[in-house]
Amino acid sequence: MAEKNVEEILSKIVNDSMGMINIITFAWRDGIPVAFQAPSPAEAEFMTVASAAALGSLDSLSDVIGSKLKRIDVEFENGEHVVISVLNGSFIAVHTTPRPNLGLIHLILRKYEHLIKKISGVGHVNPKEVSKDLG
Protein backbone atom coordinates (compact mmCIF):
# COMPACT_ATOMS: atom_id res chain seq x y z
CA MET A 1 0.00 0.00 0.00
CA ALA A 2 1.14 3.54 -0.66
CA GLU A 3 1.67 4.61 2.95
CA LYS A 4 3.18 7.92 1.86
CA ASN A 5 0.05 8.75 -0.16
CA VAL A 6 -2.17 8.02 2.85
CA GLU A 7 0.05 10.28 4.96
CA GLU A 8 -0.44 13.03 2.36
CA ILE A 9 -4.22 12.68 2.61
CA LEU A 10 -4.03 12.76 6.41
CA SER A 11 -2.06 16.01 6.07
CA LYS A 12 -4.80 17.43 3.84
CA ILE A 13 -7.44 16.49 6.41
CA VAL A 14 -5.46 18.23 9.16
CA ASN A 15 -4.91 21.32 6.99
CA ASP A 16 -8.57 21.49 5.95
CA SER A 17 -9.60 21.35 9.62
CA MET A 18 -8.06 24.79 10.21
CA GLY A 19 -6.13 23.68 13.29
CA MET A 20 -8.93 21.71 14.95
CA ILE A 21 -7.23 18.29 14.66
CA ASN A 22 -4.42 17.39 17.09
CA ILE A 23 -3.95 13.74 16.13
CA ILE A 24 -5.09 11.73 13.12
CA THR A 25 -4.36 8.10 12.44
CA PHE A 26 -5.30 5.57 9.78
CA ALA A 27 -5.15 1.97 10.93
CA TRP A 28 -6.38 -1.54 10.33
CA ARG A 29 -9.29 -2.69 12.51
CA ASP A 30 -6.97 -4.81 14.64
CA GLY A 31 -5.23 -1.61 15.83
CA ILE A 32 -2.13 -1.71 13.63
CA PRO A 33 -1.37 1.88 12.58
CA VAL A 34 -0.61 2.49 8.91
CA ALA A 35 -0.09 6.26 8.83
CA PHE A 36 -0.54 9.12 11.28
CA GLN A 37 0.11 12.71 12.16
CA ALA A 38 0.65 13.34 15.85
CA PRO A 39 3.00 15.16 18.20
CA SER A 40 4.69 11.80 18.87
CA PRO A 41 4.51 8.23 17.56
CA ALA A 42 3.53 7.06 21.07
CA GLU A 43 0.45 9.32 21.07
CA ALA A 44 -0.54 8.05 17.63
CA GLU A 45 -0.12 4.44 18.71
CA PHE A 46 -2.16 4.98 21.88
CA MET A 47 -4.91 6.71 19.88
CA THR A 48 -4.95 3.83 17.39
CA VAL A 49 -5.08 1.05 19.99
CA ALA A 50 -7.76 2.81 22.08
CA SER A 51 -9.86 3.49 18.96
CA ALA A 52 -9.61 -0.13 17.85
CA ALA A 53 -10.74 -1.25 21.32
CA ALA A 54 -13.71 1.16 21.21
CA LEU A 55 -14.70 -0.11 17.77
CA GLY A 56 -14.51 -3.69 19.01
CA SER A 57 -16.84 -2.88 21.90
CA LEU A 58 -19.32 -1.02 19.75
CA ASP A 59 -19.44 -3.75 17.11
CA SER A 60 -21.61 -5.77 19.50
CA LEU A 61 -24.12 -2.88 19.57
CA SER A 62 -24.22 -2.82 15.80
CA ASP A 63 -25.13 -6.52 15.88
CA VAL A 64 -28.02 -5.81 18.26
CA ILE A 65 -29.21 -2.83 16.22
CA GLY A 66 -28.77 -4.70 12.95
CA SER A 67 -26.75 -2.00 11.20
CA LYS A 68 -23.02 -1.59 10.66
CA LEU A 69 -21.06 1.01 12.57
CA LYS A 70 -20.12 4.00 10.39
CA ARG A 71 -18.81 6.82 12.58
CA ILE A 72 -18.28 7.40 16.30
CA ASP A 73 -18.07 10.81 17.92
CA VAL A 74 -17.13 10.95 21.60
CA GLU A 75 -17.12 14.25 23.50
CA PHE A 76 -15.03 14.73 26.62
CA GLU A 77 -15.69 17.12 29.53
CA ASN A 78 -13.03 19.55 28.28
CA GLY A 79 -14.80 19.86 24.91
CA GLU A 80 -12.33 17.74 22.95
CA HIS A 81 -13.68 15.02 20.67
CA VAL A 82 -12.50 11.72 19.27
CA VAL A 83 -14.12 10.95 15.94
CA ILE A 84 -13.64 7.53 14.37
CA SER A 85 -14.71 6.78 10.79
CA VAL A 86 -15.04 3.09 9.97
CA LEU A 87 -13.76 2.05 6.54
CA ASN A 88 -14.53 -1.68 6.56
CA GLY A 89 -11.19 -3.34 7.37
CA SER A 90 -9.71 -0.07 8.63
CA PHE A 91 -10.54 3.23 10.32
CA ILE A 92 -9.54 6.87 10.62
CA ALA A 93 -9.35 8.23 14.17
CA VAL A 94 -9.17 11.95 14.92
CA HIS A 95 -8.54 13.77 18.20
CA THR A 96 -9.72 17.39 18.11
CA THR A 97 -9.08 20.60 19.95
CA PRO A 98 -11.71 21.68 22.51
CA ARG A 99 -15.06 22.71 20.98
CA PRO A 100 -14.21 22.10 17.30
CA ASN A 101 -16.52 22.76 14.39
CA LEU A 102 -17.85 19.19 14.28
CA GLY A 103 -19.81 19.76 11.09
CA LEU A 104 -16.57 20.71 9.35
CA ILE A 105 -14.68 17.74 10.83
CA HIS A 106 -17.35 15.26 9.67
CA LEU A 107 -17.52 16.91 6.24
CA ILE A 108 -13.75 16.72 5.79
CA LEU A 109 -13.67 13.07 6.83
CA ARG A 110 -16.44 12.19 4.35
CA LYS A 111 -14.59 14.14 1.65
CA TYR A 112 -11.38 12.13 1.99
CA GLU A 113 -12.64 8.68 3.04
CA HIS A 114 -13.08 7.61 -0.59
CA LEU A 115 -9.50 8.56 -1.44
CA ILE A 116 -8.11 6.64 1.50
CA LYS A 117 -10.22 3.61 0.53
CA LYS A 118 -8.93 3.87 -3.01
CA ILE A 119 -5.27 4.18 -2.09
CA SER A 120 -5.32 1.55 0.66
CA GLY A 121 -7.61 -0.88 -1.15
CA VAL A 122 -10.11 -1.24 1.73
CA GLY A 123 -13.85 -0.89 1.61
CA HIS A 124 -16.23 -1.17 -1.29
CA VAL A 125 -14.11 0.26 -4.07
CA ASN A 126 -14.44 -0.86 -7.66
CA PRO A 127 -11.16 -2.71 -8.43
CA LYS A 128 -10.93 -0.77 -11.69
CA GLU A 129 -10.73 2.45 -9.64
CA VAL A 130 -7.75 1.31 -7.55
CA SER A 131 -4.52 2.84 -8.78
CA LYS A 132 -2.13 0.40 -10.40
CA ASP A 133 0.77 2.45 -8.98
CA LEU A 134 0.56 1.70 -5.27
CA GLY A 135 4.29 2.04 -4.66
What secondary structure letter does DSSP report for 17?
Answer: T
Q: Which domain holds residue 71?
A: 3-122
pLDDT score at 29: 93
Give per-residue pLDDT as tens, 67-116. 999 999 999 999 999 999 999 889 999 999 999 999 999 999 999 999 99
* Of residues 65, 114, 64, the one with CA closest to residue 85: 114
What helix, strand, coil percent values describe the chain, rounded to 5?
A: 45, 25, 30
The answer to whether residue 41 is domain-embedded is yes
State the total domains in the chain. Answer: 1
Domain at 90, CATH number: 3.30.450.30
The answer to whether residue 93 is domain-embedded is yes
pLDDT score at 84: 97
